[in-house]
Structure 1
Amino acid sequence: MTEKHRTGPHLAPPESPTASYQPSPGEDRQGKAIMMICAAALVFAMMDGMSRYLGAAYSPIFVITLRYWFFVGFVLLLCARSPGGIRGAIRSKRPGVQIFRGVLLVFEVVVTVEAFVRLGLINTHAIFACYPLLISALSGPVLGEKVGWRRWAAVAVGFTGILIVLKPGSGVFSTEAALPFLAAVMFALYGLLTRLVARDDGAMVSFFWTAVAGAVAITPFGLREWQPIAAWDLPWLLLLCLGAAAGHMLLIKAYEMAEASALQPFSYTQLVWVSIFGVLIFGETLAPNVALGGLIVVGAGLFTWWRSRQRERAARQG
């Protein structure tokens, strides 16, 4: 999971929280950015596997609390090195929305880890992959954007894919099945609110509030769930925290080199890695309905991405 940044399955921050990357002459920026986004997808998939393992052995809230403490340290280090320093990162023109974003994200991570434990990696990601469609559907009421019939059609097709994954008539309305969908709704809303605050606040400000607000919100619950960690699990916990820092650094560098719209399709490689880890490490089964439904959801998401690029190109030319 990403403090996506996607502390979890989230691989599409709206902008990079660092200064613009300066390429050397003749450098293939987009090619390197694609490699970095694919590497980040692999790192986050590994983190999802570690979250699934640790979330089954310990309270997910406790594990996420420790992750967020490490995340705060990483973000403070980035802020201290950025123009304006930590003082500049604290100053927000929309502090209420920034705090709500951070709280929303951390509890989305909690829901996602719980879904990993109950449903497994493959089923969770197959449903969670609908979040770009939810962003399209909610962009009208949240941001006031116009949503055309093609995007609504893509949303409808994507939800058809979710129904195929869930197999109506065999537990479609179970609590377990609702968890990844709830996480997708929360993450989509988080992404839309991130776009909203970006109208007034810089990326580093949003990055700071994401980490600090989330850590403050989760800590009282995490302390209540405090558990001793077995010695053999400490390396996994450390790798989980280091993976969050490495994954986010790869994301930051990738989005410095290329536009987010050009990189978004490659974030779906996380679903491929998750499926491999789920089958080989956790003994999960990639059922035919899950594979088919997941492909439909991803296909609808890619169509939505393509339509967005078309509209952006038409707006620039007009």
Structure 2
Amino acid sequence: MPDDLKPGHHGDPHAAPPSGPLMAPSAQHPAVPPPLARPRIDRQGMAILMICASAFIFAAQDGISRYLGATYSPIFVIMLRYWFFAVFVVVICARAPGGLAGAVRTKRPWTQAFRGVLLAAEVIVTVEAFVRLGLINTHAIFACYPLLISALAGPVLGEKVGWRRWAAVAVGFLGILIVLKPGSGVFTAEAALPFAGAIMFAVYGLLTRLVGRDDPATTSFFWTGMSGAVAITLVGIWHWEPIAGRDIPWLLLLCLGAACAHFLLIKAYELAEASALQPFSYTQLVWVSIFGVAIFGETLAPNVALGGAIVVGAGLFTWWRSRQNERAERN
């Protein structure tokens, strides 16, 4: 699994930009249009397209991670991926206001470092789940992470969680039980892997909110990439193994895909509010199901489809309730 600017994998929302057009229309239509006039841009529509594109790339990355993780140690694969990601983080932060010096400064260094290490560990656990359970079954269980965030928001952040969201959490876990129907092939000890990954990603998301009270998003982005890269290197360097020539293009595609997907996420959150884009991140589940069936020969069992739909529906309800509460607070 998925990065740090991901909502529920698991990110930090940017302030919402103005929703109006980039250029105000002139009072009178000129006789001849100015040669450099720009067309009006649908900022939210463009942001939605970017989120959907990033979801497709992340789903493709999951498929590549499953393929490589079955041949090489997942820790080794994730280490190489994090090296590339660390370079990407440095480039992005260097171009941001304040540069690298500003990105390094934090009021919560230990929490920031722990976030990065936790995310790296979550990615390893999730990739291992891909290999053992497949893409579809793993994502059907992992999709409960927004519900875990709602359940843990009270004790961790002191947020008030109403009975409606608690009910959604209960319904979501009912969906997990449907996915884990005995005899379905998923109800095994290995099913704990995606659930553990979901818990780790939920805690990571809550800590991201916590540090966001004192640090800007650029700082969290920097610490996520760098502390994760350092931690995974200390472990992964002992799992080094030669890479077959046929797998090098897939490894490069995995690394480049991560950079492209994160770039699209950054741009999307510059154009629209994170809360408005959250539901579209679930399109990753659609692509994962397609890749799992078409490429890896997985089967979308009826109980997995039904349980996954219930989990996603409960997650979307918690998102809707959060937006309602935010609007009520503003009014």
Q: Does 1:3 align with 2:3?
A: yes
Change (3 A) 1:282 1:20: farther
1:280 is aligned to: 294
Q: Does 1:176 align with 2:201?
A: no
2:104 is aligned to: 90
The percentage of counterpart residues that share the same residue type is 75
User: Secondary structure of 2:12's match?
Assistant: coil
Supply the distance in 1 between the matched residues of 2:145 and 2:177 (Cα, whole angstroms): 15
1:306 is aligned to: 320
TM-score (structure 1 length as normaliser): 0.95
- Asked if 2 retains the 8 angstrom alpha-carbon contact of 1:72 and 1:212, the reply is yes
TM-score (structure 2 length as normaliser): 0.91
1:235 is aligned to: 249
Supply the distance in 2 between the matched residues of 1:220 and 1:10 (Cα, whole angstroms): 23
Amino acid aligned to 1:219: T
2:33 is aligned to: none
Supply the distance in 1 between the matched residues of 2:18 and 2:234 (Cα, whole angstroms): 37
Supply the distance in 2 between the matched residues of 1:30 and 1:271 (Cα, whole angstroms): 22
- Asked if 1 retains the 8 angstrom alpha-carbon contact of 2:179 and 2:186, the reply is no
- How far is 1:21 from its partner? 11
- Asked if 1 retains the 8 angstrom alpha-carbon contact of 2:75 and 2:124, the reply is yes
Change (3 A) 1:229 1:264: same
Supply the distance in 2 between the matched residues of 1:294 and 1:69 (Cα, whole angstroms): 33
- Asked if 1 retains the 8 angstrom alpha-carbon contact of 2:129 and 2:138, the reply is yes
2:22 is aligned to: 24
Q: Does 1:261 align with 2:261?
A: no
2:89 is aligned to: 75
User: Secondary structure of 2:13's match?
Assistant: coil
User: Secondary structure of 1:199's match?
Assistant: coil
Q: Does 1:292 align with 2:306?
A: yes
Change (3 A) 1:23 1:191: farther
Deviation digits for residues 138-166 of structure 1 (CA, Å, limit 9, x no counterpart): 00000000111100000000000000001
Amino acid aligned to 2:278: Q
Give 1:64-143 correspondences, 5 Å limit.
64-143=78-157
RMSD: 2.0
Q: Does 1:47 align with 2:61?
A: yes
- Asked if 2 retains the 8 angstrom alpha-carbon contact of 1:21 and 1:256, the reply is no
2:28 is aligned to: none
- How far is 1:221 from its partner? 1.4
**Structure 2: tracts of 5 or more residues without a match:** 24-39
- Asked if 1 retains the 8 angstrom alpha-carbon contact of 2:14 and 2:273, the reply is no
- Asked if 2 retains the 8 angstrom alpha-carbon contact of 1:71 and 1:244, the reply is yes
- How far is 1:2 from its partner? 3.0
Deviation digits for residues 85-104 of structure 1 (CA, Å, limit 9, x no counterpart): 11111100000100010000
Supply the distance in 1 between the matched residues of 2:47 and 2:61 (Cα, whole angstroms): 21
Supply the distance in 1 between the matched residues of 2:231 and 2:18 (Cα, whole angstroms): 32
Amino acid aligned to 1:241: C
Q: Does 1:209 align with 2:209?
A: no
Amino acid aligned to 1:2: P
Supply the distance in 2 between the matched residues of 1:187 and 1:110 (Cα, whole angstroms): 12
Supply the distance in 2 between the matched residues of 1:217 and 1:189 (Cα, whole angstroms): 18
Higher Cα radius of gyration: 2
Q: 1:14 aligns with which of 12, 37, 62?
A: 12
1:249 is aligned to: 263
Amino acid aligned to 2:274: A
- How far is 1:27 from its partner? 1.6
Supply the distance in 2 between the matched residues of 1:309 and 1:122 (Cα, whole angstroms): 29
Supply the distance in 2 between the matched residues of 1:311 and 1:289 (Cα, whole angstroms): 33
**Structure 1: tracts of 5 or more residues without a match:** none
